[in-house]
């Protein structure tokens, strides 16, 4: 059988797509309250970054991620972090077809809800 189409072309994925996948997957993981703050330089601190909490890098077609999160109260931290890692790896692999390297999850805080004053 011969290939009648020849070379079709190439597909490129914008970094924002990978950021969005990682961000939405993290926020959809049970036990995650919100994204944390991404470590960065002073310039990043002065302007609001919509993808705060998520840093993505791609090396040799392999995706690496650093995710900062604030978790809900009364959850198993290790279990939630492992679920984040598994869900991001699955989402990137299935949606984009790229290999996934390390996914580092950084827990910035625990969300205890609104403070109640003790009388």
pLDDT digits over 59-82, tens only? 998 999 999 999 999 999 999 999
Q: Report which of 55, 20, 17, 24 is spatially closest to residue 37, judged by C-alpha positions.
A: 55
**Dist. CA 34–CA 112, nearest whole Å:** 12
Q: Are 106 and 66 in contact, with CB atoms under 8 Å apart?
A: yes
pLDDT digits over 1-35, tens only? 555 666 788 888 888 999 999 999 999 999 999 99
Which pLDDT score is estimated for 117? 58
Domain architecture of the chain: domains with CATH: 15-111 (3.30.70.1350)
Q: Are 72 and 31 in contact, with CB atoms under 8 Å apart?
A: yes
The pTM of the full predicted model, rounded to 2 decimals, is 0.80
């Amino acid at each position: 059988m011969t290939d009648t189409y020849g070379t079709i072309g190439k597909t490129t994925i914008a970094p924002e797509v990978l950021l969005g996948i990682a961000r939405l997957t993290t926020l959809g993981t049970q036990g995650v309250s919100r994204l944390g703050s991404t470590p960065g330089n002073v310039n990043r601190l002065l302007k609001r970054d919509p993808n705060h909490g998520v840093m993505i890098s791609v090396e040799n077609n392999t995706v690496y991620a650093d995710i900062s999160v604030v978790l809900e109260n009364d959850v198993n931290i290790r279990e939630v972090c492992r679920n984040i890692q598994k869900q991001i790896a699955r989402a990137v692999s299935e949606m984009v077809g790229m290999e996934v390297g390390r996914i580092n999850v950084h827990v910035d805080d625990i969300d205890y809800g609104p403070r109640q004053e003790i009388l």
